[in-house]
């Protein structure tokens, strides 16, 4: 049994640049975990799930950026904290789903340390940023020994806690497209400071009253956060009427595979996920 007070021994690597980090990762591969803010990695260590090596990004300069460009969209560096993203004016204006996911994540203390890229990379099925980004759409920029590549968020999560990021690759950035879509995020928790028992997000491109494009994501109801393709199909080309929303509510449970755990039950998650999706659609549209 590990101790929640005494960290087990591990090698702490402090690369000074991305190249050094990638090289260290290339050598250690799955024997190392990458640490940005440390809010998950350190907890994992105290729970006995730590790696023998921790590669900290703390001393690599220039990774804490949040930059918006009206053509290229939003870029978030690997060391940008949840609080930094939550406070960013462009994020507030254009990506309210992500803003919300960051602003209510964890506690004030962990928001000041934890990072958005870290939340994405941890690949928890209940990750709030994952849910928001999956709804908005985006790309994860990975740096490997042979160079950079970008993976679409839609293809990123393979199975429970497993991503398309290879053992020798380092996530250095996420990119969100410049969008005009209306987006929103909400989650359900037991108390305010908690992990999500269900989270939902949507992003809707509207043409007048009609939905032109829809992306709907829901978390903590399957091994990974998932998009609800059937729901998106219902929404696409429709106007948001009570009838359509009823159809959405009825369809959501058919697309999810929740489980019983200490936070909730499968039955409850099935019962409320539809309601939450309905409500998030209305919230995104300002209704």
Q: Which residues bind another protein (CB under 8 A)?
A: 1, 3-6, 9, 188, 190-195, 262-265, 267-268, 271-272, 275-276
Cβ at position 287, least distance to another protein in Å: 14
Q: Which is nearer to another protein, 135 or 277 (CB)?
A: 277
Smallest distance from another protein to CB 88, Å: 23
| 3-state SS record for 95-156 | CHHHHHHHHCCCCHHHHCCCEHHHHHHHCCCCCHHHHHHHHHCCEEEEEECCEEEEEEHHHC
The residue among 5 and 71 lying less far from another protein, judged by its C-beta, is 5
Quick one: 25 or 184, whose CB is closer to another protein?
184
Between 193 and 233, CB nearer to another protein: 193
CB 183 within 8 A of CB 203: yes
Listed in sequence order, the residues at least 6 apart from 151 whose beta carbon sits closer than 8 Å to its beta carbon are 139, 140, 142, 164, 165
Asked if 203 and 215 touch (Cβ cutoff 8 Å), the reply is yes
Rounded Cα–Cα distance for residues 80 and 9 (Å): 27
In angstroms, give the least distance from the CB of 7 to another protein: 9
What distance in Å separates the CA atoms of residue 237 and residue 177, rounded to the nearest whole number? 22
Smallest gap, in angstroms, from Cβ of residue 106 to another protein?
A: 10
Q: Do 164 and 155 touch, CB atoms closer than 8 A?
A: yes
**Closer residue to another protein in complex, CB, 96/274:** 274
The minimum distance between CB 37 and another protein, in angstroms, equals 17
């Amino acid at each position: 049994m590990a101790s929640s007070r005494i960290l087990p021994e591990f090698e702490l690597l402090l690369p000074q640049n991305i190249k050094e980090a990638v090289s260290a990762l290339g050598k250690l591969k799955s024997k190392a975990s990458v640490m940005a803010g440390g809010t998950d990695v350190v907890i994992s260590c105290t729970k006995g799930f730590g790696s023998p090596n921790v590669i900290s990004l703390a001393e690599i300069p220039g990774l804490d950026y949040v930059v918006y460009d009206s053509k290229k969209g939003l870029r978030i560096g690997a060391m940008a904290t949840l609080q930094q993203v939550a406070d960013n004016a462009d994020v507030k204006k254009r990506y309210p789903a992500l803003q919300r996911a960051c602003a209510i994540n964890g506690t004030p203390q962990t928001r000041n340390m934890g990072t958005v890229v870290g939340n994405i990379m941890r690949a928890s099925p209940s990750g709030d940023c994952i849910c928001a980004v999956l709804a908005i759409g985006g790309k994860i920029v990975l740096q490997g020994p042979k160079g950079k590549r970008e993976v679409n968020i839609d293809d990123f999560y393979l199975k429970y806690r497993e991503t398309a990021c290879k053992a020798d690759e380092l996530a250095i950035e996420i990119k969100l497209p410049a969008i005009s879509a209306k987006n929103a995020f909400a989650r359900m928790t037991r108390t305010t400071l908690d992990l999500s028992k269900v989270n939902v997000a949507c992003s809707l491109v509207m043409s007048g009253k009609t939905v032109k494009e829809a992306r709907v994501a829901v978390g903590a109801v399957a091994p990974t956060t998932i998009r609800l393709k059937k729901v998106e199909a219902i929404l696409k080309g429709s106007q948001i009427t009570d009838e359509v929303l009823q159809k959405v509510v009825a369809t959501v449970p058919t697309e999810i595979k929740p489980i019983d755990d200490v936070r909730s039950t499968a039955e409850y998650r099935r019962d409320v996920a539809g309601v939450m999706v309905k409500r998030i659609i209305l919230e995104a549209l300002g209704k």
